[in-house]
Structure 1
Amino acid sequence: MYSAIAGNPSESGSFSELGARALTANQAKPCQCELLSAKKAARMKKYCVTRELQKRAEKICSAEIEYVFSDHFDQDDAGEQILQPLHQLCSELNPEVDDETEGFPAQYAPLYSVPLLEKEQEVILFKGMNYLKYRASVLRDQIDLKSPCVGLLDRIEQKLKDAHRLRDYIIQANLRLVVSIAKGLTDRANTFEDIVSDGQMPLIRAVEIFDIDRGNRFSTYGTWAIRNFLFRATKKGRKYRKSFVSGVESAAMGLSDFRSTPRSHESYHHSIRYVLKQVLHTLDEREQLILKRRFGLYHSDAPEKFREIADDLGISTERVRQLTIRSLQRMRDVIEEQNLELPEIPEII
Structure 2
Amino acid sequence: MSYEPSYPASELDTFSDLGERAVHLDQSQSCQCELLAVKKAARMRKVCVTRELQARAERLYSKEIEYVHSERFDQPEAMDQVLIPLQQLCAELKPDTEDDLTSDAGLLQTRLYAVPLLSKEQEIILFRGMNYLKYRAAMLQKQVDLKAPCVGVLDRIEQKLKDANSLRDYIIQANLRLVVSIAKNLTDRANSFEDIVSDGYMPLIRAVEIFDIDRGNRFSTYGTWAVRNYLFRTTKKGRKYRKNFVNGAETLALGLSDIRSTMRSQETYHKSIEQVLEQVLCSLGQREQQILKRRFGLPPAEVPEKFREIAEDFGVSTERVRQLTIRSLQRMRDVIEEQSLEIPDISEIL
TM-score, normalising length from structure 1? 0.66
1:33 shift after superposition? 3.2
How has the CA–CA distance of structure 1 residues 83 and 229 changed in structure 2, closer, same or farther, with 3 Å as cutoff?
same
Counterpart of 1:131, as a letter, is Y
Distance 2:344 2:190 in 1: 28
Q: Could you list the per-position Cα deviations for residues 29-70 of structure 1 after superposition, in whole angstroms to 9, with x for gaps in the alignment? A: 243438x8xxx8997898787111010000001111000000
Matches within 5 A, 1:227-246: 227-244=228-245
3-state SS of paired residue (1:61): helix
Aligned match of 2:168: 167
Matches within 5 A, 1:1-349: 12-33=12-33, 50-95=50-95, 107-244=108-245, 279-281=273-275, 283=276, 290-294=280-284, 322-324=333-335
1:244 shift after superposition? 2.4
1:288 shift after superposition? 6.7
Please tell me whether the aligned partners of residues 95 and 115 of structure 1 are also in contact (alpha carbons under 8 angstroms).
no
Once the two structures are aligned, what percentage of the paired residues are identical?
Answer: 62
Q: Could you list the per-position Cα deviations for residues 203-223 of structure 1 after superposition, in whole angstroms to 9, with x for gaps in the alignment? A: 000000000000000000000
Distance 2:174 2:12 in 1: 19
1:95 shift after superposition? 3.6
Stretch moving more, 148-157 or 13-22:
13-22
3-state SS of paired residue (1:145): coil
Distance 2:82 2:239 in 1: 42
Counterpart of 1:121, as a letter, is Q
Please tell me whether the aligned partners of residues 252 and 325 of structure 1 are also in contact (alpha carbons under 8 angstroms).
no
3-state SS of paired residue (1:184): coil
1:94 shift after superposition? 2.1
Distance 1:201 1:111 in 2: 16
3-state SS of paired residue (1:31): coil
Q: Could you list the per-position Cα deviations for residues 104-151 of structure 1 after superposition, in whole angstroms to 9, with x for gaps in the alignment? A: xx9432232111000000000000000000000000000100100001
Counterpart of 1:176, as a letter, is R
Aligned match of 2:304: none
Aligned match of 1:344: none
Q: Could you list the per-position Cα deviations for residues 144-183 of structure 1 after superposition, in whole angstroms to 9, with x for gaps in the alignment? A: 0010000110000000000000000000000000011111
User: What is the count of residue pairs matched by the alignment?
Assistant: 266
Please tell me whether the aligned partners of residues 33 and 44 of structure 1 are also in contact (alpha carbons under 8 angstroms).
no
How has the CA–CA distance of structure 1 residues 185 and 28 changed in structure 2, closer, same or farther, with 3 Å as cutoff?
same
How has the CA–CA distance of structure 1 residues 30 and 245 changed in structure 2, closer, same or farther, with 3 Å as cutoff?
closer
Please tell me whether the aligned partners of residues 67 and 134 of structure 1 are also in contact (alpha carbons under 8 angstroms).
yes
Distance 1:156 1:166 in 2: 16
Counterpart of 2:233, as a letter, is R
TM-score, normalising length from structure 2? 0.66
Please tell me whether the aligned partners of residues 123 and 212 of structure 1 are also in contact (alpha carbons under 8 angstroms).
yes
Please tell me whether the aligned partners of residues 33 and 45 of structure 1 are also in contact (alpha carbons under 8 angstroms).
no
3-state SS of paired residue (1:80): helix
Unaligned runs of 5+ in 2: 1-10, 97-106, 257-269, 287-328
Counterpart of 1:150, as a letter, is V
How has the CA–CA distance of structure 1 residues 164 and 230 changed in structure 2, closer, same or farther, with 3 Å as cutoff?
same
3-state SS of paired residue (1:50): helix
Please tell me whether the aligned partners of residues 82 and 129 of structure 2 are also in contact (alpha carbons under 8 angstroms).
yes
Distance 1:175 1:88 in 2: 24
Based on CA coordinates, which of the two structures has the bigger radius of gyration?
1
Please tell me whether the aligned partners of residues 182 and 228 of structure 2 are also in contact (alpha carbons under 8 angstroms).
yes
